[in-house]
Structure 1
């Protein structure tokens, strides 16, 4: 009989571990009756805990709930609006034109309402490096894509028919700056402007597009989204303590393992050596990293097959962060056959064969779920157990 040692992933603790092992064990027995499943519960002995009860978590001072000064409340309202703009830079332009009706063809004798601002946008597009400099972005040319998107946006046409040119310039400037900063953030730009730098860039850009000039009597156009508050960041700040307590095992497990993983590896090796061969390691997420490191550090002849599911071991190796094996050193000769299962929608799953062609085989498997659900949906997928059964016969 083949013993399958199940090495769980990050954040798994009792009673969830017992329920998960029971589900995986039953599904595996149906697909491969000659196997038995035993868990490697490294989380209880070596998983992360908040040793001081969460003393490192900032306390709630009430600012994000409007309980601070008027300036605090204004800052939070502005952050709320910009959170929405970073998600959808054109949302204000659409809201401004909500009652204007759809745009249609412009009569031949009529100048399009958006013609002036499009001309100014086109001129600015030729000087996008100047705008990048105003925002202090590290990647020169970042703003070009945002300005091109605005030039092609139907939202600009509809908004031009609904608001005056000054308001249109300011709405367009906010859309452009939101688009630029969102793109920079997504691209991993390490330098993002503060709110004051962002707002100064909006004012300068609005002036270039026909809006108010600094020092003019007219105030800035009101932020149209100020009342809209379905805010992920505000809710996260409000519930930071609860969220951190709930999620710290997952993130903390990774950091603790990378900092002090020797105990994890000894725990797994001792469990394997206590079994009669043959042994198969079935590992999820960080469990796959622990298994790879364990098998690199010492020969375990009992193990005839390593199966990793949604694992980051190949990525850690390629980034030279795998504790046991520095890139580009190869796997040792005693390393067993490796089946690496990944869901293309699982952003925490990586392929192994391009890095370890002599040992690893990659097997894509789709749950149909988006990320992050796809990272945990493997164990409900019958195809997983059929794939394992084919390798265990």
Structure 2
């Protein structure tokens, strides 16, 4: 009787995703391992299923339908700052892509300073002039450090050179926002902490103006940069609005919803998995379980439970893209507590834990559980794709199949 690999899918997966992964597993092990491959598609019947109407009932009315979203309505300035917090140099990147300014010859004249040098000198002036108190509760030292960092960035000079005038109003405001964003990023630690400029748009605007005021008087020569930045922010804002709706439908329901459901009412899912394992064992089949993402958490929980008939008949546990190790560190696993002695036989072993450093939802297990120094192996798959695609890329990597074949339990 051939061994059986029992696949337990993760959060958000429904019939089409389950079928695709099962097909990938069958193809991946073809001619490599003489096993049967079975799975439990728990998502459609036991997972979260919420329709559009249910989500629209809880959304603010202006965000309920994508075609009702307007850029001002959801705040393109908020969208711009969201992007600046990811990349404070965003506007300067845009400015540096402008065709070269026509003032290069003027810069060579006696007494005329090149725009890139002039801008660097003006940012140095910000370093020297800035002082407390500043609007929004930001410390002058944070602005000083941000300006010093910006002076070392080549984009500062290239943006000024492309503009051709260091006193261009759009450019100076972009530089001020880059300094303010960099300073505020330094305060983004524990949620809810930090200066009011992180949370109050008017305070943030006042901070930027206070930085602009440290520059010489600017020349209002059009909104060439701001118009482009505004257009970008409007696009981001509209995309955000659509994402909020579709994200709730495709992410929270069923994605995050499955996790919340399992944490509160997961016994039905675990019971279905247990019945399947027992049924396979009663057919004299050796069972290896493979749990992806939330499926891996389920299997770590299930195989660590005390069970009256004794340990479940599983030869090996394989988790892939699993959060079980970090949930243990959060003291959030269902069957093992962080500050209590681990019950005998927990965590379940042998355990092969497969991760990808590009998958931000995968973690290492071999060092997670005190006292469990043997029987847990971490193996890295290098998909070379970015998150979130990396979280589902395992089943397309030759190294994933090679490792499971190599570590399959001996007869």
270 and 94 in structure 1: CA distance in 2 versus 1, 3 angstrom threshold: closer
Q: Deviations over 1:297-320 (max 9, x none)?
A: 134341121000110000100111
Q: Look up the match of 2:391.
A: 375
Q: Look up the match of 1:255.
A: 260
Supply the distance in 1 between the matched residues of 2:94 and 2:62 (Cα, whole angstroms).
Answer: 33
Q: Look up the match of 2:288.
A: 280
Residue of 340, 344, 353 corresponding to 2:366 = 353
Supply the distance in 1 between the matched residues of 2:263 and 2:140 (Cα, whole angstroms).
Answer: 36
Supply the distance in 2 between the matched residues of 1:110 and 1:146 (Cα, whole angstroms).
Answer: 28
Q: Look up the match of 1:146.
A: 146
SS for the counterpart of 2:317 is strand
Q: Look up the match of 1:341.
A: 354
Q: Deviations over 1:206-249 (max 9, x none)?
A: 1123357xxxxx98985342233573442131353333222221
Supply the distance in 1 between the matched residues of 2:88 and 2:67 (Cα, whole angstroms).
Answer: 25
339 and 262 in structure 1: CA distance in 2 versus 1, 3 angstrom threshold: same
Supply the distance in 1 between the matched residues of 2:112 and 2:301 (Cα, whole angstroms).
Answer: 71
Supply the distance in 2 between the matched residues of 1:67 and 1:18 (Cα, whole angstroms).
Answer: 36
Please list, as runs of the form range in 1=range in 2, the aligned pairs for 1:28-39 lying within 5 A after superposition. Answer: 28-33=29-34, 35-39=35-39
Q: Look up the match of 2:338.
A: 327
Q: Look up the match of 2:207.
A: 201
Q: Look up the match of 2:45.
A: 45
SS for the counterpart of 1:15 is helix
Please list, as runs of the form range in 1=range in 2, the aligned pairs for 1:303-314 lying within 5 A after superposition. Answer: 303-314=314-325
SS for the counterpart of 2:315 is strand
Please say if 1:180 is aligned against 2:191: no
21 and 31 in structure 1: CA distance in 2 versus 1, 3 angstrom threshold: same
Residue of 245, 250, 257 corresponding to 2:249 = 245
Q: CA deviation at 1:95?
A: 4.4
Q: Deviations over 1:327-369 (max 9, x none)?
A: 1445433333111011111111000001232331101111221
Please say if 1:120 is aligned against 2:128: no
Q: Deviations over 1:257-280 (max 9, x none)?
A: 122222222222222111224211
Work out whether residues 63 and 73 of structure 1, in 8 Å CA contact, stay in contact via their aligned partners in 2: no
Q: What RMSD in Å do the two structures reach over aligned CA positions?
A: 3.5
Q: Look up the match of 1:315.
A: 326
After TM superposition, the structure 1 stretch with the greater mean CA deviation from structure 2, 248-257 or 167-176, is: 167-176
Q: CA deviation at 1:323?
A: 1.8
Residue of 231, 235, 252 corresponding to 1:231 = 235
SS for the counterpart of 2:361 is coil
Please list, as runs of the form range in 1=range in 2, the aligned pairs for 1:4-23 lying within 5 A after superposition. Answer: 4-23=5-24
After TM superposition, the structure 1 stretch with the greater mean CA deviation from structure 2, 360-369 or 85-94, is: 85-94
Residue of 286, 298, 308 corresponding to 1:290 = 298
- In the alignment, structure 2 segments of 5+ residues that lack a partner are none
263 and 330 in structure 1: CA distance in 2 versus 1, 3 angstrom threshold: farther
Supply the distance in 2 between the matched residues of 1:245 and 1:196 (Cα, whole angstroms).
Answer: 33
Work out whether residues 63 and 245 of structure 2, in 8 Å CA contact, stay in contact via their aligned partners in 1: no
Supply the distance in 2 between the matched residues of 1:65 and 1:145 (Cα, whole angstroms).
Answer: 43
Q: How many residues align?
A: 378
390 and 121 in structure 1: CA distance in 2 versus 1, 3 angstrom threshold: same
361 and 77 in structure 1: CA distance in 2 versus 1, 3 angstrom threshold: closer
106 and 249 in structure 1: CA distance in 2 versus 1, 3 angstrom threshold: farther
40 and 240 in structure 1: CA distance in 2 versus 1, 3 angstrom threshold: same
SS for the counterpart of 1:53 is helix
Supply the distance in 1 between the matched residues of 2:95 and 2:20 (Cα, whole angstroms).
Answer: 52
TM-score between the two structures when normalised by the length of structure 1? 0.82
